[in-house]
A and B are shown apart, each in its own frame.
Chain A
Amino acid sequence: MKLPPLDYICPATLTEAIAALAAYGGNAKVIAGGQSLVPMLAFRLAAPSVLVDIGRLPDLKNISISADGIDFGALVTWRDIERDARLAQAHPLLAAAIAHVAHYQIRNRGTVGGSMAHADPAAEMPGIAVTCDAMLTIVGPTGTRIVRANEFITGGLSTVLGADEILTSIRLPLWKKARRWAFEEFARRRGDFALAGVAAFYDIDAQGLAYNAHIGLIGVADRPMRLPGVEAILDGRRIDADVILQAAAVARDAVDPADDIHAEAAYRRDLLGVLLERALARAADIVLPEAA
């Protein structure tokens, strides 16, 4: 489990980094925290000829909150998010989700940008980005482009990132104060990849009806996904037990998970329904009738 032969460069500026990527064509790979890439190299599942380490690039380690949204530099680590006292208020859904990410050592090194670019279907950050309509900033040789999170991820472990592009930041829209939300995840052991996870939020209008519902799932498809059908059920309704059970039933029908060594597909399908019920009940602060 040693890395294949490869070169390593550690540019000092973004321009240099992009130039290096461009110079190597498709044979270079960006490395940040290395928490996904290094195991893939060790298993020889990836064999780039050069690693471009963006760890020394300036200005990618900040979390900034402005009127435009909450910006996370690509090199922000899970530990940075965990330690940022502002986020519990500024984006409680994100804070709750990130609490499920991996184990201490990984949390200290793994980065927001790395997780997005790796695009594991069970990972929390891509799930939150898709659920919350995050905007991603990508820099390449011809300039900067902004991509919506749901368009960024194009399939299992694949994104729109070009070989000569670098994801530099992720912007989450500002969080409304009175928003109802919950994050539910089920993993075999704490820190393991989720067998399924649900991120949910909605706002409440003056009549007490839900609007702007956002329901996102991880671990049940080849990429994180939204459930527009479930969102449509919630919007304009008072969130009670009936609505929740109806939403969960629609959610179960809306997904088509695959079998793998951790769980059969039917389990994941049912599990996400249970998680959605629990998430919505917690968001609405109601107790569902106990099932057997």
Chain B
Amino acid sequence: MSDVAKLLVGSAVERMEDARFLSGSGYFADDLAVEGMLHAAILRSPIAHARIASIDASAALAMPGIHAVITAHDIGDTIPIIPLRLAPLPEFEPFRQPVIARDKVRYVGEPIAIVVADSRALAEDALETIGIEFDALSAVTERGASETPLFDFAKDNVALRYDAGFGDADAAFASAHYVRTERFSVQRHTALPMETRGMLAEWNSLAGRLVVTGATKVTFYNRRALAQMLGLREDDIDLIEIDVGGGFGVRGEFYPEDFLIPFAARKLARPVKWIEDRREHLMAINHSRDVACELSLACRSDGMILGLRGRVFADMGAYIRTNGGVVPAKAAQFLPGPYRIPHVSVSVEAFMTNKTPVGTYRGPGRFEANFFRERLIDMAAIDLGIDIAEFRRKNLITEQELPYPIDGLVPYEGPTSYDTGDYVEVFERALKEIGWFEKSHLQGKLIDGVRHGIGLGCFVESGGAGPKENAALTLEKDGSLTVAVGSSVLGQGLETVLGQIASDTLSIPFDRIRVLHGSTTLLDEGFGTYHSRAVVMGGSAVLDAATRLREKILQQASNHLGRPNSELKIVNANVIADNGASVSFAALAAGHDLQADGTFSNDVRTYSYGTHAAHVTVDPRTGAVKVLDYIAVEDVGRAINPAIVHGQAIGAIVQGLGGVFLDHLIYDEQGQLLNASLADYLVPTASDFPVLRAVTLELRPSPSNPLGAKGAGEGGIVAVAAATANAVAAALAPLNVEIHHLPLTPPRLWRLIKNARERTTNAA
């Protein structure tokens, strides 16, 4: 490599994307426009559970500017089913979602028909004229409502149950000095990327080829799924990724529209564009969280944890979509967290309701599990009279105990172990940052009408899922470098990070690098972006390709300069020999194709870890919570770009605070979604939580990849509910209030305080 002082990896390089975004030159799905383009709008079920008796689209078809109304009938005898991308357990197969409702609707928002028109406005006008007769069925909106199965083949609405664990939890609990059991829950909410979904599908009937622009996340997987549904060869479909305004897990999975819009384009032989509007988004995008847990902890009297038992109950909504049971499985797997708990038993129950299906959202299962466990740890520590920080310190896994196996918590996954780290050091750092010792006298204290509380939340979190990622690097004729990668860009700064890696390896200036990503046209095979894997896997693939290309460049230069490789070095896109002779990359590329493929295969996950701490005040009269200070400390192994990692962390904390205080998808008893707009679905904005801090550490690199990087996109969110809810609970402890359920809205806290007061009064 070149001069160490000039390495970009590890430095806060300004994002190459920023000029484009800040100047309004981003290129998003709704910027797409081509000649002859038509617009689609989707008729979505207005009721939660019903049989469809009839659909009458004749009035719509008679309207000017309407090209087609497509229903299940037009799609054929067999309606394609959306596959399980992750954890394809056989139990879930019958609960998968057809791309359009034919005989029955199972949630408000389920597609029933699509209208294709000259404009979106005309398409929406036509939607209003389509007559549907429903035979309404009673809506299932909660666990245990089994009298109305959603699926005719099923005897009840439970899709899956399993038990997992290690050690002997029963024995541990039987012998424990102290046991406490509590029930917790996290409300249904979603990621809400600012850019809703959208795509343009273009069918070339002469060539028999389909191009879909606006794809992201797992484009190669989605192409395979789409090819099967449309009866096309995979290489007759291109999925093109352009700029993406946020993903957070929900954007880019295979949704019904990912079939319906291409189907319409092929049927009409016209380009068809569809942009999800915000109201649709709230009812159509994957919902998430919505997990309840009965959690028990068994301890010795000195606070050493002996065992943990957790029963996880997950409302999966009306269908099992691409993510299968990842949300509840991870909620169960991460219940023990970064603690030494020898005996663990967990169970998972995934049940179906007449609500929008659930998928993964940033920190799936972890956000919930950390909240459940960290809350119970505070309760146990207080019961046992042990300082809540000391309780954690005592039970955190020490570095000497790593790697620490956590096998057997997810039945469909192989053995896995927490890899490297110093959990205790990071914990102590968070205490120092929040001023734990200085502020301990504030716990629960009433000052100027508000009560203070400081809370902690520890976590460990997996990232970097395999199996593999690919990259291809090309030295262009002008001496610039093109990096193509199978990872997807979701607005997270991946182009910059991959550019840094390539720049260092090839000693080529950063501004001479162009990063192409995600599209299926770039590579034979790609795996995409989820599970905080894009740097770990995609970055390592780029590093591999860059190393190979470097060898090719040196070999070519050796031929050109007549000097052996050992006498050559690369400086600023020139190869220079010991004798002073040199040749530029451009000159080398002019005469030869200089291209290299790279790949990185790995099934060993990375485990980043950290501690969050929050200092809040609660106005006990209104229930209003103010976050006075927040610190997230995380060891990510290696931060390729500290500024980007910092931004990821701060953004994730804000998003997590939304999940604690604001975001809430609310259904009534009829299964109606009551959030129709962002006036009803509250998301945190940039000014709502002004005092947030994040410290990124690089204490222990990952041993599983050459960059040493661990997943860094989710550690900022996974412990937010844990730390914040503990802080609120600490503030309200003098009022005998305990926190079990999110969100912590002012009316809910007010109600808890009032009920606690009435209990106290009645008891007295």
B662 in the interface (beta carbon within 8 A): yes
Contacting pair B622 A44 (CB below 8 A): no
Contacting pair A190 B687 (CB below 8 A): yes
What CA separation (Å) do A5 and B682 show in the bound complex? 30
A43-B279, A267-B751 known; A274+B621 contact, CB < 8 A:
yes
The 0/1 profile, CB within 8 Å of B marked 1, for residues 184-198 of chain A is 001011101101000
Range, interface on chain B: 35 or more
Q: List 11 A-B contacts (CB under 8 A).
A: A2-B119, A2-B120, A44-B128, A189-B682, A192-B682, A195-B746, A267-B623, A290-B446, A291-B621, A292-B620, A292-B735
A263 in the interface (beta carbon within 8 A): yes
Contacts of B620 in A (CB 8 A): 291-292
A162 in the interface (beta carbon within 8 A): no
Contacting pair A5 B676 (CB below 8 A): no
Closest to B661 in A: A188
B4 in the interface (beta carbon within 8 A): no
B404 in the interface (beta carbon within 8 A): no
B387 in the interface (beta carbon within 8 A): no
In order of increasing CB-CB distance, the 10 nearest A-B pairs are: A2-B121, A267-B747, A263-B747, A1-B277, A274-B621, A2-B124, A261-B674, A261-B666, A267-B750, A2-B120
B181 in the interface (beta carbon within 8 A): no
Minimum distance in angstroms from A187 CB to a CB of chain B: 10
Count: A-B pairs, CB below 8 Å: 69
What CA separation (Å) do A261 and B684 show in the bound complex? 18
Closest to A260 in B: B674
Minimum distance in angstroms from B328 CB to a CB of chain A: 26
Identify B688's interface contact among A186, A190, A271, CB under 8 A: A190
Known A1-B278, A192-B679, A274-B622; 7 more pairs at CB < 8 Å: A1-B277, A1-B279, A2-B120, A5-B125, A39-B677, A186-B624, A189-B662
What CA separation (Å) do A195 and B666 show in the bound complex? 18
Q: Which of B657-713 contact A (CB under 8 A)?
A: 662, 666, 674-677, 679-680, 682, 684-685, 687-688
Contacts of A264 in B (CB 8 A): 747, 751
Q: Which of B721-764 contact A (CB under 8 A)?
A: 734-735, 745-747, 750-751, 754
Contacting pair B622 A271 (CB below 8 A): yes
Closest to B121 in A: A2
Contacts of A2 in B (CB 8 A): 119-121, 124
A4 in the interface (beta carbon within 8 A): yes
Contacts of A5 in B (CB 8 A): 121, 125
Contacting pair B674 A186 (CB below 8 A): no
Contacting pair A270 B687 (CB below 8 A): no
A2-B121, A188-B745, A261-B674 known; A292+B279 contact, CB < 8 A:
no
Contacts of A274 in B (CB 8 A): 621-622
A157 in the interface (beta carbon within 8 A): no
A23 in the interface (beta carbon within 8 A): no
A4-B125, A39-B677, A43-B676 known; A188+B746 contact, CB < 8 A:
yes
The 0/1 profile, CB within 8 Å of B marked 1, for residues 263-275 of chain A is 1101100110010
Q: Which positions in A face B, CB cutoff 8 Å?
A: 1-5, 39, 43-44, 186, 188-190, 192-193, 195, 261-264, 266-267, 270-271, 274, 290-292
B449 in the interface (beta carbon within 8 A): yes
Minimum distance in angstroms from B402 CB to a CB of chain A: 42
Identify A3's interface contact among B121, B278, B680, CB under 8 A: B121
Contacts of A1 in B (CB 8 A): 124, 277-279
Minimum distance in angstroms from B54 CB to a CB of chain A: 23
Closest to A265 in B: B747
Contacting pair B125 A262 (CB below 8 A): no
What CA separation (Å) do A292 and B279 show in the bound complex? 41
Minimum distance in angstroms from A46 CB to a CB of chain B: 14
What CA separation (Å) do A292 and B623 show in the bound complex? 12
What CA separation (Å) do A292 and B618 show in the bound complex? 11
Closest to B277 in A: A1
What CA separation (Å) do A44 and B685 show in the bound complex? 27
Contacting pair A193 B679 (CB below 8 A): yes
What CA separation (Å) do A5 and B64 show in the bound complex? 13
What CA separation (Å) do A261 and B433 show in the bound complex? 38
Residue with the highest number of chain B CB atoms closer than 10 Å, among A193, A195, A267: A267
Closest to B734 in A: A292
Q: Which of B535-583 contact A (CB under 8 A)?
A: none
What CA separation (Å) do A261 and B121 show in the bound complex? 30
Minimum distance in angstroms from B742 CB to a CB of chain A: 15
Closest to A193 in B: B679
Closest to A3 in B: B121
What CA separation (Å) do A189 and B682 show in the bound complex? 8
What CA separation (Å) do A186 and B626 show in the bound complex? 13
Minimum distance in angstroms from A54 CB to a CB of chain B: 24
What CA separation (Å) do A267 and B449 show in the bound complex? 18
Contacts of B746 in A (CB 8 A): 186, 188, 195, 263, 267
Minimum distance in angstroms from B657 CB to a CB of chain A: 11
Closest to A267 in B: B747
Contacts of B119 in A (CB 8 A): 2
Closest to B620 in A: A292
Closest to A259 in B: B747
Minimum distance in angstroms from B7 CB to a CB of chain A: 42
Q: Which of B244-293 contact A (CB under 8 A)?
A: 277-279
Identify A290's interface contact among B449, B666, B676, CB under 8 A: B449
Closest to A290 in B: B449
Contacts of B277 in A (CB 8 A): 1
Contacts of A188 in B (CB 8 A): 662, 682, 745-746
What CA separation (Å) do A43 and B734 show in the bound complex? 46
What CA separation (Å) do A292 and B734 show in the bound complex? 9
Residue with the highest number of chain A CB atoms closer than 10 Å, among B125, B620, B747, B751: B747
Closest to B128 in A: A44
Contacting pair B124 A270 (CB below 8 A): no
What CA separation (Å) do A5 and B676 show in the bound complex? 22
Contacts of B623 in A (CB 8 A): 267
Minimum distance in angstroms from B752 CB to a CB of chain A: 11
Minimum distance in angstroms from B62 CB to a CB of chain A: 15
Contacts of A44 in B (CB 8 A): 124, 128
Contacts of A193 in B (CB 8 A): 679
Contacts of B680 in A (CB 8 A): 261
Minimum distance in angstroms from B173 CB to a CB of chain A: 37
Minimum distance in angstroms from B452 CB to a CB of chain A: 14
Minimum distance in angstroms from B675 CB to a CB of chain A: 8
Contacts of A292 in B (CB 8 A): 446, 620, 734-735
Contacts of B675 in A (CB 8 A): 261
Minimum distance in angstroms from A289 CB to a CB of chain B: 10
What CA separation (Å) do A278 and B624 show in the bound complex? 15
Minimum distance in angstroms from A267 CB to a CB of chain B: 4
Closest to A262 in B: B747
